[in-house]
Amino acid sequence: MNIAANPVVEADQTVYLKDYQKPSFVVDSIDLDIQVFDDHTNVNAKLVMQRQTAGDLVLLGRDLELKSIRLNGQVLPADAYVVDAEQLVISNAPDQAVIETEVVIHPESNTQLEGLYQAAGDLFVTQNEPEGFRKITYYPDRPDVLSVFTTRVEADKKFPVLLANGNLIEAGETGEGRHYTVWQDPTKKPSYLFACVIGDLAVLKDSYVTSEGRNVALEIYAEEKDIPKCHIAMEALKHSMRWDEEHYGRPYDLDNYMIVATSAFNMGAMENKGLNIFNTSCVLADEEYTTDAAIMRVQSVIAHEYFHNWTGNRITCRDWFQLCLKEGLTVFRDQSFSEDLQSAAVQRIDDVAVLKAHQFPEDSGPLSHPPRPDHFVEINNFYTATVYEKGAEINRMMATLLGKEKFRAGTDEYFKRHDGQAVTVEDWVAALTAGSGVDLSSFLIWYNQPGTPKLEAKGEYDAANQTYTLSLKQSLKAHPKYPNLKAVPIPVALALFDATSGEQLVLSSNALVENGIKDGVYLFDTDTATITFSGVKTQPVVSLLRNFSAPVDLEFNYSDAELAFLMQYEPNGFNQWQASQTLLERILLNGHDADIYVQAIQNTLPALVERDPLLASRLFDVPTEGYLGSRIDTDYSPAKVQEQREALLSRVARELGSFFKETYATLDPDAQKEFSQAMGVRALKNIMLSMMARQGDASVFELAYEQFSSTGNMSERLGALKVLVWNDAPQAQQALEAFYTRFKNEALSMDQWFMLQAAHPKATAETIKALTTHPDYDLKVPNRIRAVTGGLNSNPVNTWSFGVQHIVELAKFLDEKNPIVGSRLLQILSRWYTLAEPQRSEVKAKLEALKPVVKSKNVSETLNSMLSV
Ligand code: B3K
Ligand code: ZN
């Protein structure tokens, strides 16, 4: 692959990490006054600034109508400053400068959902990370400028709720049917954490007493009808608050914590200080309206945003190159929280599945970048799987290596050193090192390099000498923008098993010490290494990279029989799943025989279904067509992959046919005590229903229709609807209509209805057209757009044929209206160059044709990178 210089995005638009400079002025305090009217909003700001280094006074601002500007009380003459589309610069400013500005903005016509925008008729919200605040007022809008915010919000009384960060210090009326509130946030914060909300919302209230005895008022704001769907989020919030005290010693620091739900939001949620704003999809949870997966996601996103209060807000990023400092650490924390909430093994399965399905392909294609990139054009393009998920894996590797106590000593040191500061990845690793007493500096290499390291391993047993030798080799694909790639430290968790009994072999401490293995983990940090175990009496089976101890692509010379062995005998569910996925990849991509797999499934699953339904539901996972496609670098034929996968599924359906049929009838989610196990039973029911449908037994449609209509649970209802619709069952249309009638006023349920139809295996361009011209399709609501593209994208055969046109048209439309979402959607096509001809050239031509048309930095940067292969 040749990633050439970028021809369209001009060099001067690229920002480099090496050019970082401290801001010349800091802001001690800001007083903001935001007055919302139907057709405009006035924003008045008073900034008390102080010089800290030589240089101009720079205020960033975009799409602002400047009405007046004063410096230290005097109107600033026009020749005393220079203003353009991005900034306002005052040269020769005095060391103490009080700047007062008046600007007009238009949230009512802001379709980009960044800055202050009207999210619905009766709701205005903000989204300021990373660079939205400059669309509200002139300000040094960068994360290393921390200030005390006092905010006055004024609007018509038809908006009874007026919120901003911090404590409410005043409220009153201004006449003419208008009212106001004043909020003061005692903690210094960067502007990207500023938020305000103006709307007509109902509220769910609760409270929490911290370990320090602080009584915190908890409030979740949503539409009146959705308040009953906020209880799971509220419980998750209290749980997160306790968890952070117990696991990291971090209590909450304000007297209130507010969450506001909106249906118009570009991503999942935002951690604004004390006033989180959430996509409804990440806060509303109710088994009647949302799926089990959505309920789990709500709990993890609530935790994620709450954990940001310490990792992100109290300690923030010096610049946006350091994004993974807060995101990688916070994802690692929310994953650990979710592991405690449900089964640790299943949570790890789900997290690794996401990593491999999204981050691995990203890191092997034209959008590959290090977790901490060293340049970008548009920072919004870097809220990626690499920054978030690979960032989390780096922290997990360090935590694995340190063990619980030392990792905690390291994080304690981090909070002690840097509370109230804007810091870098180096600061984080240095604090962990100092606190734990273990030098972790080599992990910085992980932050600075792109690409998934390949880990090649070979095992050899020498029966005569009773030794087992493991040779390891690591390598990285060259990247033109990041030369000088180095070997990274790879913690390899491993265990040896007796091939006959299935028992784990106990290795003497001598053998462990000689090989540098601690707590079952070997740190491999050179290009190659060999480790030899002695006293191994019989040929062992090795389990490598247990719990996915490092984000690497492992190639090990397992036999298929050894993988089947691990599927059955590994005591850890994650490792069982990992073995089955490796075996399946060989069957589906390399033509290995499926007999061994089918046998292993038959041996393992019936007992597991009884013992641990949730884990059992994951052990039925067969890698998706999308994932399998991402493992193919040239001459990729989506249809061939589909054919292979379908053949395997049909075989499993046939060979386990009677098991599925009998078990389906006995599965009862209501008999489970734990939510997570009930969720497992529901997942199993749906798997079995679709397996039965594969056998062509028409009576299954009656069972499905019965499940569809008799349940009050969305996962069961959707699982059954999917079987009916995807198989074009006689009851399909009736079921779709019944679903629509029942849920038409429930946006999140309707998103599922759109998605399920877009994902129909036999969908056509007409299907997509019918969905996108449906009266309930709405281009202003990213969730609805993503419902259709997400459904489409779950089927690569469709995506790469008629789907390309839909995605390209959307990218073009969103380039102007909502470039953040447009750029993200376009990335669905980033692996176009792997396709077999003629598809490859056809898709390429469509992408090329888009190039002269798009204008936003977001979409252009993505498109240029995509076409640079
Ligand atoms: N920090 C926000 C992401 C903001 C994305 C801006 N395009 C959500 C989160 O990671 O918690
Ligand atoms: Zn985050």
Is 305 marked active-site? Answer: yes
Decide whether any atom of ligand 1 lies within 6 Å of the 271 Cβ: yes
pLDDT of res. 8? 41
Would you say the CATH fold of 744-869 matches that of 2-200? no
Residue 759: phi, psi to the nearest 5?
-90, 5
Q: What is the mean pLDDT of residues 617-625?
A: 97
Counting from 1 in the atom list of ligand 1, the atom nearest the Cα of 271 is 11
Q: What is the mean pLDDT of residues 156-175?
A: 98
Whether pLDDT at 242 is above 50: yes
Taking the CA of 276 as reference, the closest ligand is 1
- The span from the CA of 267 to the CA of 550, in Å, is 28
Give the CATH H-level superfamily of domain 744-869.
Peptidase M1, alanyl aminopeptidase, C-terminal domain (1.25.50.10)
Sheet containing strand 161-164, edge to edge, reads: 115-120, 123-127, 196-199, 161-164
Q: Would you state the structure tokens that stand for residue 388, as one six-digit string?
A: 């978030």
Q: Would you state the structure tokens that stand for residue 677, as one six-digit string?
A: 């196990």
Residue 506 banded pLDDT, cuts 50, 70, 90: confident
Decide whether any atom of ligand 1 lies within 6 Å of the 802 Cβ: no
Angle at 659 between CA 653 and CA 660, to 5 degrees: 55
Taking the CA of 819 as reference, the closest ligand is 1
Give the residue from 498, 495, 469, 471 showing the smallest Cα distance to 575: 495
pLDDT of res. 688? 97
Residue 363 banded pLDDT, cuts 50, 70, 90: very high
Counting from 1 in the atom list of ligand 1, the atom nearest the Cα of 380 is 7
HSE-CB at 40 with a 13 A cutoff on CA atoms is 8
Give the residue from 856, 841, 765 showing the smallest Cα distance to 811: 856
- Could you give the angle at which helices 714-726 and 732-743 cross, rounded to 10 degrees? 140
Q: Would you state the structure tokens that stand for residue 92, as one six-digit string?
A: 């020769």
Q: What is the 3-class SS of 274-321, one letter each residue?
A: CEEEEEHHHCCCCCCCCCHHHHHHHHHHHHHHHHCCCECCCEEECCHH
pTM over 0.95: yes
Pocket-testing residue among 271, 304, 334, ligand 1, by greatest number of atoms within 8 A of Cβ:
271
Identify the burial level of 776 via C-beta atoms within 10 angstroms of its C-beta, where 0-12 means exposed, 13-18 middle and 19 or more buried: middle
Decide whether any atom of ligand 1 lies within 6 Å of the 820 Cβ: yes
Q: What is the mean pLDDT of residues 790-815?
A: 98
- The span from the CA of 682 to the CA of 668, in Å, is 8
Residue 111 banded pLDDT, cuts 50, 70, 90: very high
- The span from the CA of 354 to the CA of 368, in Å, is 16
Whether residue 62 contacts residue 180, with contact meaning beta carbons closer than 8 Å, is answered with no
pLDDT of res. 508? 78
pLDDT of res. 507? 81
Residue with token string 């909430």 = 341
DSSP 607: H
Strand 422-423 and strand 316-317: the pairing is: parallel
Counting from 1 in the atom list of ligand 1, the atom nearest the Cα of 305 is 11
- The span from the CA of 109 to the CA of 401, in Å, is 51
Residue 514 banded pLDDT, cuts 50, 70, 90: confident
Backbone conformation region of residue 535, classed left if phi is above 0, alpha if psi is from -120 to 50, else beta: left
Counting from 1 in the atom list of ligand 1, the atom nearest the Cα of 312 is 1
What digits encode the pLDDT tens for the residues 744-753?
A: 999 999 999 9
pLDDT of res. 342? 87
Q: Would you state the structure tokens that stand for residue 111, as one six-digit string?
A: 């379709």
Partner residues linked to 470 by β-bridges = 459, 531
* 812-817: long-range contacts, CB 8 A cutoff, minimum separation 24: 812/850, 812/853, 812/854, 813/779, 814/785, 814/859, 815/853, 815/854, 815/855, 815/856, 815/858, 815/859, 816/855, 816/856, 817/111, 817/112, 817/779
Decide whether any atom of ligand 1 lies within 6 Å of the 292 Cβ: no
Whether pLDDT at 4 is above 50: no
Decide whether any atom of ligand 1 lies within 6 Å of the 129 Cβ: yes
What digits encode the pLDDT tens for the residues 806-851?
A: 999 999 999 999 999 999 999 999 999 999 999 999 999 999 999 9
The dotted CATH code for 2-200 is 2.60.40.1730
Which whole-number Å values give the CA distances from 666 to 609, 719, 722, in the listed order? 11, 17, 21
Domain parsing of the chain, residue ranges: 2-200, 744-869
pLDDT of res. 12? 65
Whether pLDDT at 657 is above 60: yes
pLDDT of res. 641? 98
What digits encode the pLDDT tens for the residues 195-223?
A: 999 999 999 999 999 999 999 999 999 99
Q: Report, in angstroms and rounded to the nearest whole number, the Rg of the chain calculated over CA atoms.
A: 28
Q: How many helices (H) and strands (E) does the chain have?
A: 29, 32
Expressed in angstroms and rounded, the spacing between residue 319 Cα and the centre of ligand 1 is 15
Identify the burial level of 841 via C-beta atoms within 10 angstroms of its C-beta, where 0-12 means exposed, 13-18 middle and 19 or more buried: exposed
Angle at 629 between CA 626 and CA 630, to 5 degrees: 90
Whether residue 729 contacts residue 701, with contact meaning beta carbons closer than 8 Å, is answered with yes
Residue 143: phi, psi to the nearest 5?
-70, -15
Counting from 1 in the atom list of ligand 1, the atom nearest the Cα of 301 is 11
Q: What is the mean pLDDT of residues 130-156?
A: 98
- The span from the CA of 64 to the CA of 291, in Å, is 42
- The span from the CA of 224 to the CA of 630, in Å, is 43
Whether pLDDT at 511 is above 80: no
Give the residue from 218, 219, 199 showing the smallest Cα distance to 209: 218
Query: Which residue CA neighbors atom 5 of ligand 1 most closely?
Result: 129
Residue 2 banded pLDDT, cuts 50, 70, 90: very low
Taking the CA of 272 as reference, the closest ligand is 1
Decide whether any atom of ligand 1 lies within 6 Å of the 378 Cβ: no
Tell me the pLDDT of the chain averaged across its residues: 96
HSE-CB at 234 with a 13 A cutoff on CA atoms is 19
Pocket-testing residue among 129, 191, 193, 379, ligand 1, by greatest number of atoms within 8 A of Cβ:
129
Torsion from C-alpha of 77, 79, 81, 84, nearest 10 degrees: 120
Expressed in angstroms and rounded, the spacing between residue 269 Cα and the centre of ligand 1 is 7
Marked catalytic residue, from 114, 223, 271, 305 = 305
Expressed in angstroms and rounded, the spacing between residue 355 Cα and the centre of ligand 1 is 18
What digits encode the pLDDT tens for the residues 254-273?
A: 999 999 999 999 999 999 99
